[in-house]
Amino acid sequence: MEQFADWLYKEFDFQGRTIIRGLVLVAVICIAYLSDFIVKKSVLRAIKLIIDKSKNQWDNALVKHKFFTRLSHIAPAMVIYGLAPFVFAGYQPGIEKMRIASYLYMAMIGLFVVDAFLNALVDIYRTFSFSKSLPIKGAVQVVKIVLYLLTFVIILSVLLKKNPATLLTGMGAMTAVLLLIFKDSILGFVAGIQLITNKMIRIGDWIEMPKYGADGDVIDITLMTVKVQNWDKTICTIPAYALVSDSFKNWRGMSESGGRRIKRAVYIDINSIKLCNDQMLEKFRNIHYISDYINEKEKELAEFNEANGIDNSIPVNGRRLTNIGTFRAYVVGYLRNHPKIHKNMTFLVRHLEPCSKGLGIQIYVFSNDQVWANYEAIQADIFDHILAVIPEFELRVFQEPAGADFNSDFFIRNA
């Protein structure tokens, strides 16, 4: 065919050859367009039908990122590359330029095809459970940067007609400039490796980083940034290297432990704390959660006082039950029998240091339900009950006086 084209061009003068070359060029362009049309309308449709019937998920990821669509753009470039001798038969520089243009176009299309494949690979990888603990998006972005640089070098070498190795050697002098330009990428890449290898963070973790306004779930980890969706549904972006250089809180330990901490105190008015008398003990003995506690304590204290010859006529002598201690025992019993309290984790009902607000009774336990809404409901139910039963122990909750309190009859009479 090429010999026929050479013979055909030789039979005409310059003007005739120009006209024929123009007609052949139009024909080649039409053939290239036709090949593109056939591939997209026939081949791509057939591939899409096969994928729709397939039960695999990986092929859907390829379609989503237009892998096959981008690949189809190579068809017209190959047609132009192959038919270049027919357009410029007998004129070698024209053939070379046309083929170089096609080659560069195919190089760019090849880069975009690989880019789409890598994007699909990330989506396919995310379908596996272990992808949350070992994300690869940052590594894929590094591969993309390398591919883009290599493609740029190849295109430059073709245009300048230089060996790519020579260009790469010459670029060594630009290393300092490249390091400055890609500083964030390099820092992010190194930080990403540290985050992954040390298992500091993964997709789905709840993290807090007030410096960047982050308080929510990690939804994406890339080469340079980590995206966090806050509880108010806003999304903030944190530089990857900041998670290595700065401090942040990861709640993964809580999520994996099976419990969520309840740490809250009720402050008791110290003026309401007193020793228990017989009437109070009789009343407390009928409370389900502390009936055994009252009986055992009374027996223990009676034996101690008798052994030490304590004069029981004066209450301050010897050992006595107090309403605050009995109340604390009641809270322990109540929480021990609560179905939503984790029994195998830290369980404390303790005194805090007395202060201007009174004596703090702190509850430090863990719920066995980690869902935020359920956790808040459990915590609220517990303290609703505790606050309601405090008067049964002849105790008062401390509350700072408000404006209405100063207008009460007590303050008016004593003004």
The reply to whether 268 and 245 lie within a common domain is: no
Weakest mean pLDDT among 25-34, 216-225, 357-366, 395-404 = 25-34
Query: Mean pLDDT of all residues in the chain?
Result: 79
* Structural domain includes residue 42: yes
The reply to whether 38 and 147 lie within a common domain is: yes
Q: What is the pLDDT of residue 377?
A: 94
* Structural domain includes residue 309: no
* Structural domain includes residue 281: no
Q: What is the CATH number of the domain that holds 234?
A: 2.30.30.60
Question: In the listed set 183, 202, 221, which residue is the last one of a domain according to the structure?
Answer: 183
* Nearest-angstrom CA–CA distance, 204 and 208: 13
Q: What is the pLDDT of residue 97?
A: 75
* Nearest-angstrom CA–CA distance, 312 and 319: 10
Q: What is the pLDDT of residue 337?
A: 92
Q: What is the pLDDT of residue 229?
A: 92
Q: What is the pLDDT of residue 13?
A: 47
With a CB cutoff of 8 Å and minimum separation 6, the contacts of 348 are 362, 363, 364, 365
Helix (H) or strand (E) holding 214: strand 214-221
Mean pLDDT highest for which of 76-80, 244-248, 328-332?
Answer: 328-332
The reply to whether 138 and 8 lie within a common domain is: yes
Mean pLDDT highest for which of 63-67, 184-188, 373-377?
Answer: 373-377
Q: What is the CATH number of the domain that holds 349?
A: 3.30.70.100
Q: What is the pLDDT of residue 410?
A: 53
Structure tokens at 122: 């990330």
Question: In the listed set 228, 257, 286, which residue is the last one of a domain according to the structure?
Answer: 257
Q: Report, as an integer, the average pLDDT of 169-193.
A: 66
Beta bridge partners of 350: 362
Statement: residue 111 has pLDDT above 90: no
Weakest mean pLDDT among 9-23, 29-43, 193-207, 282-296 = 9-23
Q: What is the pLDDT of residue 386?
A: 94
Statement: residue 170 has pLDDT above 90: no
The reply to whether 86 and 159 lie within a common domain is: yes
Structure tokens at 143: 């591969």
Beta bridge partners of 355: 358
Q: What is the pLDDT of residue 14?
A: 46
Cβ–Cβ under 8 Å, residues 393 and 283: no
Determine the structural domain holding residue 129 and report its residue range.
Answer: 2-183
Q: What is the DSSP string of 78-97?
A: HHHHHHHHHHSTT-HHHHHH
* Nearest-angstrom CA–CA distance, 15 and 332: 105
* Structural domain includes residue 299: no
Q: Which of 136, 222, 224, 145 is nearest to 178 (CA)?
A: 145
The reply to whether 235 and 178 lie within a common domain is: no
Is 172 or 386 the better-scoring residue by pLDDT? 386
The reply to whether 157 and 20 lie within a common domain is: yes
* Structural domain includes residue 359: yes
The reply to whether 35 and 167 lie within a common domain is: yes
Statement: residue 321 has pLDDT above 70: yes
Structure tokens at 243: 């998670």
Q: How many domains is the chain built from?
A: 3
Helix (H) or strand (E) holding 109: helix 92-125
Structure tokens at 230: 């806050």
User: pLDDT (tens digit, 9 = 90+) per residue, 244-277?
Assistant: 888 888 888 777 788 889 999 999 999 999 998 8
User: pLDDT (tens digit, 9 = 90+) per residue, 1-60?
Assistant: 455 455 445 554 445 555 656 666 677 677 777 777 777 777 777 777 777 777 776 777
Q: Report, as an integer, the average pLDDT of 54-80.
A: 76
Q: Report, as an integer, the average pLDDT of 285-312.
A: 86
The reply to whether 179 and 239 lie within a common domain is: no
Confidence band for 171, pLDDT divided at 50, 70 and 90: low
Q: What is the pLDDT of residue 84?
A: 66
* Nearest-angstrom CA–CA distance, 126 and 26: 47
Label residue 335 exposed, middle or buried (CB < 10 Å: 0-12, 13-18, 19+). buried
The reply to whether 210 and 166 lie within a common domain is: no
Q: Report, as an integer, the average pLDDT of 325-345.
A: 92
The reply to whether 93 and 62 lie within a common domain is: yes
The reply to whether 170 and 146 lie within a common domain is: yes
Statement: residue 347 has pLDDT above 90: yes
For the chain, the straight-line distance linking the first and the last C-alpha, in angstroms and rounded, comes to: 118
Structure tokens at 19: 């006209």
- Which is it for the CA torsion 29, 34, 39, 40, positive or negative? positive
* Structural domain includes residue 414: no
Q: What is the pLDDT of residue 336?
A: 93
Is 191 or 247 the better-scoring residue by pLDDT? 247
Question: In the listed set 138, 155, 183, which residue is the last one of a domain according to the structure?
Answer: 183
CA angle centred on 262, ends 293 and 384, rounded to 5° = 70
